[in-house]
Amino acid sequence: MRSILIVDGDEYSRVYLREMLKKEGYKVYYSDKGREGLEKAREKLPDLIICEQVFIDIEGTEIIREIRSNQNTMRIPFMVLSKKSDEIDKVLALELGADDYVVKPYCDKELLARIKAQFRYERKKDGNETHTEEILQKCGDIILIPSESEILVNGDRIFLSSKELKILNIFINSKNNSARRSEIIQKVWGNNLENQPQLLDAYLSNIQQKINEKSIFEFSIEFCGKSEYRMVMKEKPAEI
């Protein structure tokens, strides 16, 4: 049975979601406080975390940071379900490592579909598994391990959210390392295209920043016209 942790200070929202998920057959943990929710995440290690961003005791963004910085919880899919609807709030949460962002009020069917989509790309909690039977994807000094939510860049592990991983995988496995904007959106977000072009740009920028922190190459994802992007790896200019 899949388990889901709900962290939400709004009682009506929390209870409604809890009962809906129980009817769908999920085991549900819940908390009405941010810090308590963090502790439950570390204790229960749920298969998915659904979290508000508005709490009295802690900023919602700090919850994402702590989940992503903890070795035991960093691979757990994290969905924001919040009344905060500003684009900047969405982008910040996604850049910090949230896998999805849903604004309240939401459509029940759409939310359940998004939850199921997270489980299709479930991350393994055990970081000690071997990869001898896996086909590793390589490009330059980047190594993508299919079962992991991390990549190796110049030998160093870098965490990517599930959507960042999907986007990078599209480029690595495409002809000439290029892909159309519509193709990326369809493969990563499905048919829900609302506001996604702007979010895609934020994801591309975040992937580029993370890889360039470790890569010996100059990594970029460039817009090359006709709504197409191309992943480029160049040798860094020699330091004088």
Structural domain contains residue 132:
no
Pick from 90, 120, 150: which residue ends a domain?
120
Pick from 92, 120, 148: which residue ends a domain?
120
Cα end-to-end distance, the chain, whole Å:
58
Structural domain contains residue 126:
no
Pick from 95, 120, 145: which residue ends a domain?
120
Structural domain contains residue 81:
yes
Structural domain contains residue 199:
yes
Same domain, yes or no, for 211 and 114? no
Which residues have a Cβ under 8 Å from the Cβ of 108 and sit 6 or more positions away? 20
C-alpha dihedral sign at 204, 78, 103, 39: negative
Same domain, yes or no, for 147 and 114? no
39: left (phi over 0), alpha (psi -120 to 50) or beta: alpha
Tell me: pLDDT of 64 over 80: yes
- What ranges in 73-195 are assigned the alpha helix state H? 87-96, 108-120, 162-172, 181-189
Q: What is the share, in percent, of the chain residues with pLDDT greater than 90?
A: 36
Structural domain contains residue 183:
yes
Residue 163 is predicted with a pLDDT of: 86
| Segments forming the whole domain that contains residue 53 | 3-120
Same domain, yes or no, for 12 and 92? yes
Q: How many domains does the chain have?
A: 2
203-233 per-position pLDDT tens digit: 899 999 999 988 888 999 998 877 899 999 8
Residue 129 is predicted with a pLDDT of: 39
Same domain, yes or no, for 144 and 96? no
CATH of the domain at 30: 3.40.50.2300
CATH of the domain at 144: 1.10.10.10
- Write the CA distances from 158 to 38, 85, 151, 164, 194, integer angstroms: 22, 29, 5, 11, 29
Structural domain contains residue 130:
no
Structural domain contains residue 125:
no
Same domain, yes or no, for 197 and 112? no
Same domain, yes or no, for 19 and 96? yes
Same domain, yes or no, for 207 and 158? yes
Same domain, yes or no, for 106 and 151? no
69-117 per-position pLDDT tens digit: 888 898 899 999 998 888 888 888 888 888 889 999 988 988 998 898 7
Structural domain contains residue 167:
yes
- With a threshold of 0.85, does the pTM exceed it? no
